[in-house]
Structure 1
Amino acid sequence: MQLIQETPDLSAYLAADEAIDHHHPVVRETAARLAVGVADSYEYARAAFEFVRDTVAHSQDSGDLRVTWRASDVLEQRTGICYAKAHALAALLRAEDIPTALCYQDLGVVHGLVAVRFHGAWHRQDPRGNKPGVDARFSLDGERLAFTPDPGAGEKDHPVLYAAPHPAVLAALRAAPDSPHLWRALPTTL
């Protein structure tokens, strides 16, 4: 699949916004802790990915009723669904000047992940969180995502790399008072 940048301007994939608030002190402090002792931006990106994947609980897996969507809230509360975890990872990577896009899969509902830019190419990463049957890993040598869409079931990868969260995703997150409401309101298309 060929990934398509929403904008040719790479600086858009370093920008802060309301959801990817990488100038927030919680994001900056977390990024600084993760950067200690790392040799290069690739090693930092792997550390940030593993931090979000492994220390921020996916609220559906953990049963947490809270809905987070701002990167700073996700990192502070250590909970969120795929979209929120993608926002947190994007913020941590952008805080260290690593271009990061938001991207999506259609798996019956829209699933969120990120793409990082290294060596002149985009590489999708899925910080959703592992569980039985899910083994996502950071990789620049072939994708190791949580899920592979089944075209026979109407599932697909969306090729667009967004600089900001998709409006349908933000609307669902912002409108949900708790996780049960969010599960019923997840976008099914972009």
Structure 2
Amino acid sequence: MILSPETADESAYLAADDVIDHGHPLVRQTAALLRSAAPDRAGYARAAFEFVRDEVTHSTDADDPRVTCRASEVLGERTGICYAKAHALAALLRAEGIPAGLCYQHLGVVHGLVALKLPGHGWARQDPRGNRPGVDARFRLDAEQLAYVPDHLAGEFDYPTLYAAPPGAVLAALRQAPDRARLDTTLPVTL
């Protein structure tokens, strides 16, 4: 998948904002812990991906009613849907100076991913949603191994835009839902 960054200014993919709050103490602490065991930048990126994929539960899989949005909130509560987990991974990557953006798939509803950029590699999409039977997402720089492959015959597709910040439709869904049951009924079907 060839991604189209929404801006040519790569610093936008390193910036902190209200959602990708990589300056927050919990994000910094988590990044430092992961960095201490990583041999290099690619190793750190893999460790951050695996941490979010495996240690932050997907709230639907866990039947957790909480809705999280901010990266620090996701890491603190250790739960979130795909969008929230993508926010946490993007923050952990940016905390260590690795450009990271948000990208999406249309799978009936919008599904959230992260793309990162390391020296010697273009943008590489990663899906930290969390594995379960039938879902086996892995950190790969050479080829994608995402949770889902869009079924083009069913109208599913990859959005080509690489966002520096979450789109309004994603933020509105997360911020307006009082719990995950309500969120499940209001997930965006388009960006």
Query: In 1, distance between residues paired with 2:131 and 2:38?
Result: 24
Give distance in 2, aligned partners of 1:130 and 1:39: 25
Partner of 2:45: 45
The answer for the alignment partner of 2:8 in structure 1 is 8
Task: State the alpha-carbon separation in 2 of the partners of residues 64 and 56 from structure 1.
Answer: 12
Q: Counterpart amino acid of 2:136?
A: D
Work out the number of aligned pairs and report it: 190
The corresponding residue for 1:130 is 131
On the 8 A contact 2:66/2:179 being kept in 1, the answer is yes
Contact 2:121/2:141 (CA < 8 Å) preserved in 1? no
Q: Which runs of 4+ in 1 moved over 3 A?
A: none
The letter of the residue matching 1:39 is P
Deviation digits for residues 148-172 of structure 1 (CA, Å, limit 9, x no counterpart): 0001000000010000011100000
What is the CA–CA distance in structure 2 between the aligned matches of 1:144 and 1:2, rounded to whole Å?
Answer: 15
The separation in 2 between residues aligned to 1:67 and 1:37, in whole angstroms, is 30
Segments of structure 2 that go 5 or more residues without pairing to the other structure are none
Secondary structure at the residue paired with 1:90?
A: helix
Which structure 1 residue ranges, 5 or more long, are not aligned? Answer: none
- Counterpart of 1:96 in structure 2 is 96
* CA distance in 2: counterparts of 1:181 and 1:42, whole angstroms: 37
- Deviation sequence 1:11-39 (CA, Å, 0-9, x none): 00000011100000010000000010312
- Partners of 2:37 and 2:54 in 1: how far apart? 19
Counterpart of 1:161 in structure 2 is 162
Aligned residue in 1 for 2:67: 67
Deviations 1:131-163 (A, max 9, x none): 000000000010000000001000000010000
* In the alignment, structure 1 residue 108 sits paired with structure 2 residue 113: no
Q: CA RMSD in A?
A: 0.6
Aligned AA (2:161): V
Partner deviation per Cα, 1:51-72 (whole Å, 9 max, x = no partner): 0000000000000000000000
Opposite residue 184 of structure 2, the aligned amino acid is W
Partner of 1:150: 151
The Cα offsets for residues 44-97 of structure 1, whole Å up to 9 and x where unpaired, read as: 000000000000000000000000000000000000000000000000000000
